[in-house]
């Protein structure tokens, strides 16, 4: 039996990759004005957004609530349809738990429907590559419960490494202290960050200078990439030249890499800021 694959704006997916994936809309505030984001990264003006952050725009994001999931899931559940939703990491958002509440409520009311929520333990393309795999499993005719099992097993292999250009955005969300941000800025220190197996964003190193940060992330790709799956995604906070350079370095390691480059989505983008540069790929481990 086929199933419906859901993702949302945090999946970072452009139109060309959305075949078989339904997106949930999300709202956020920019200087207290509401913005509705369809979830399609092609509809997101990343240049204007990140320029705004540079110039002091205040962005507030919030979780997708249970009511939204009920609105989109109920018509499918009523017909006995199955659903798999790829959620942003439970370690950084309450969205996963909100989706679980909706899924349990609907499966109790409509027992012929099976709804599975995947905790991606990631964000951005960290969600997106799992959504792409879910859509392929569906297209290949894999049973819903088997697909759910395979996706949960795939989560620890969805690697995501990134750096930021301005530590003050991480400071504002409590990721680093004010002193660390100040010293790091003065010394041009760039953190190497990744999503760990508990769904939290942690540091796995720091280097001096942007070039060294890019090289450190590429080294992670070289060490951890999984043979046989050439999917690679790169997202950036309005720094396309660095993203293209990263793509060139990936190709040097793996000429068969199938690379997608896009602006980084606005939700976690508010926390990592302009100049964020991330690499997402399937690896032997995180």
- Pick 16 or 178 by higher pLDDT: 16
Nearest to 155 by CA among 101, 217, 198, 98: 198
Chain segment 49-63, per-residue pLDDT in tens: 999 999 999 999 888
- Pick 91 or 275 by higher pLDDT: 275
Q: What percent of the chain has pLDDT over 90?
A: 73
Strands (E), 122-177: 158-163
Q: What is the pLDDT of residue 171?
A: 56
How far apart, in Å, are the Cα atoms of 44 and each of 55, 134, 174, 262? 18, 24, 26, 10
- DSSP type of residue 20: T
Residue 40 has pLDDT above 90, yes or no: no
Q: What is the pLDDT of residue 63?
A: 87
Domain 158-282: which topology?
Answer: Hypothetical Protein Tm841; Chain: A;domain 3 (3.30.1180)
Query: Where are the domains positioned within the chain?
Result: 3-155, 158-282
Q: For residues 24-37, give the mean pLDDT.
A: 92
Q: What is the pLDDT of residue 227?
A: 85
Question: Among 70-84, 131-145, 195-209, which is the least confidently predicted range?
Answer: 195-209
Q: For residues 17-23, give the mean pLDDT.
A: 96
Strands lying side by side in the sheet with 3-8: 21-24, 3-8, 82-87, 115-119
**Cβ atoms 83, 192 nearer than 8 A:** no
Q: For residues 151-166, give the mean pLDDT.
A: 94
| pTM for this entry | 0.93
pLDDT band at 201 (very low <50, low <70, confident <90, very high): confident
Neighbouring C-beta atoms of residue 225, cutoff 10 Å: 20
Strands (E), the chain: 3-8, 21-24, 26-30, 33-37, 59-61, 82-87, 115-119, 158-163, 189-195, 201-208, 231-236, 258-263, 277-282
pLDDT band at 46 (very low <50, low <70, confident <90, very high): very high
Nearest to 40 by CA among 229, 265, 237: 265
Q: Which CATH entry fits the domain spanning 3-155: 3.40.50.2300, 2.40.30.260, 3.60.10.10, 3.40.50.10170?
A: 3.40.50.10170
Q: Report the mean per-residue pLDDT for the chain.
A: 91
Q: For residues 254-279, give the mean pLDDT.
A: 94
Q: Encoding tokens for residue 209?
A: 């200078």
Q: What is the pLDDT of residue 175?
A: 46
CA distance 65 to 94: 8
Chain segment 211-224, per-residue pLDDT in tens: 999 999 999 999 99
CA distance 92 to 89: 6
How far apart, in Å, are the Cα atoms of 157 and each of 129, 154, 205, 214, 229? 10, 5, 20, 21, 11
Residue 182 has pLDDT above 70, yes or no: no
Residue 1 has pLDDT above 80, yes or no: no
Locate tokens 């250009």: which residue? 165
Q: For residues 31-49, give the mean pLDDT.
A: 92
**Cβ atoms 161, 281 nearer than 8 A:** no
pLDDT band at 204 (very low <50, low <70, confident <90, very high): confident
pLDDT band at 179 (very low <50, low <70, confident <90, very high): very low
Find all residues with CB under 8 Å of 211, minimum gap 6, and list them.
none
Q: What is the pLDDT of residue 29?
A: 94
């Amino acid at each position: 039996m086929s199933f419906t694959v859901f993702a949302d704006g945090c999946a970072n997916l452009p139109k060309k990759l959305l075949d078989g994936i339904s997106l949930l809309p999300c709202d956020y505030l920019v200087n207290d004005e509401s913005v509705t984001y369809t979830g399609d990264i092609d509809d997101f003006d990343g240049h204007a957004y990140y320029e705004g952050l540079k110039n002091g725009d205040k962005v507030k994001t919030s979780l997708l609530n249970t009511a939204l999931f009920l609105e989109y899931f109920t018509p499918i559940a009523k017909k006995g349809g199955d659903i798999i939703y790829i959620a942003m990491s439970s370690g950084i958002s309450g969205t996963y738990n909100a989706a679980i509440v909706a899924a349990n409520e609907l499966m109790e009311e409509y027992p012929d429907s099976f709804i599975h929520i995947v905790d991606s333990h990631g964000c951005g393309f960290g969600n997106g590559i799992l959504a792409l795999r879910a859509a392929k499993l569906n297209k290949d005719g894999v049973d819903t419960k088997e697909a759910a099992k395979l996706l949960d097993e795939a989560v620890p292999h969805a690697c995501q490494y990134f750096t930021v250009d301005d530590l003050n955005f991480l400071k504002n969300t409590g990721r680093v202290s004010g002193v660390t941000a100040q010293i790091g800025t003065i010394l041009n220190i760039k953190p190497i960050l990744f999503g760990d197996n508990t769904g939290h964003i942690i540091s796995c190193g720091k280097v001096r200078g942007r070039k060294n940060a890019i090289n450190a992330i590429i080294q992670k790709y070289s060490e951890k990439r999984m043979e046989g799956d050439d999917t690679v995604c790169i997202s950036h906070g309005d720094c396309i030249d660095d993203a293209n350079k990263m793509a060139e370095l990936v190709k040097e390691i793996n000429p068969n890499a199938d690379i997608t480059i896009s602006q980084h989505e606005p939700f976690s983008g508010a926390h990592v800021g302009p100049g964020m540069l991330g690499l997402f790929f399937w690896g032997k481990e995180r």
